[in-house]
Amino acid sequence: MPDAEVPYAAYQPAPVSHLPPVVAELSEASAGDIDQLAALQTEVRGGGVAQWAERIGRAVGAERSVVVVARVDGEITGYANVTFLPEHPGDGAPDGYYLSGVTVSPRWRRQGVGRALTRWRMAWVWARDPSVWCFVSARNRASLDLHTALGFVEVRRAPVLQGVSFEGGSGALLRAQRPI
């Protein structure tokens, strides 16, 4: 399932109660993590475990990309990707390192795991390139808030970005520049 079709978290900018943040241990995914990550994706986005395992397996260890896993007390609570994409010939989205697929287990949401996974990936990209890119459905307000609070700035909106179309609307192309 493309990122644009994720069942988004309900938008709650000011929740009545807030769980305390957890300290997640972050590390690059290894082949041994693939089955658990595929199970997490199936829970969050649907689809088949085998299909997800095949897709995640291709991402783990791929060139100019990274898959990062968050664990709390050994339990996988979320994961996310970075991939280098060339300029898209159809929609003109620029080449660069793109954050994608940040996914947090519904049981562990709103405790800082998504923020930690994003900060880790920003640092990973900035060690290689001054710009970090991502695209987010304009309807995914939780994700937009997550990224803009970390310094991402909207560059433009478009119905298709890097070949991904956004169901019922547009996507926001975001960039965060490495601090000088």
Ligand X SMILES: CC(C)(COP(=O)(O)OP(=O)(O)OC[C@H]1O[C@@H](n2cnc3c(N)ncnc32)[C@H](O)[C@@H]1OP(=O)(O)O)[C@@H](O)C(=O)NCCC(=O)NCCS
Using the minimum distance from each CB to ligand X, give the nearer residue, 23 or 31.
23
Closest CA to 112 of 7, 19, 3: 19
- According to DSSP, residue 86 is labeled P
Q: Using CA atoms of 177, 2, 74, 115 in order, give the dihedral in degrees to the nearest 10.
A: 30
| CB-nearer residue toward ligand X: 21 or 31 | 21
| Closest CB 95 distance from ligand X, rounded Å | 19
* Nearest to ligand X of 168, 180 (CB atom): 168
The values of phi and psi at residue 18, to 5°, are -130, 125
CB of 5 vs ligand X, minimal distance in Å: 10
Closest CB to ligand X: residue number? 114
Between residues 83 and 143, which has the closer beta carbon with respect to ligand X?
Answer: 143
Rounded to the nearest whole angstrom, what is the least distance from the CB of residue 180 to ligand X in the complex?
A: 25
If one counts every other C-beta atom within 10 angstroms of the C-beta of residue 102, the result is 24
Positive or negative, the Cα torsion across 140, 145, 150, 152? positive
Q: Where on the chain is the footprint of ligand X (CB under 6 A)?
A: 3, 6, 8-13, 44, 102-104, 109-115, 136, 140, 142-143, 145-146, 149
Q: How many CB atoms lie within 10 A of CB 7?
A: 10
Least Å distance, CB 51 to ligand X, is 17
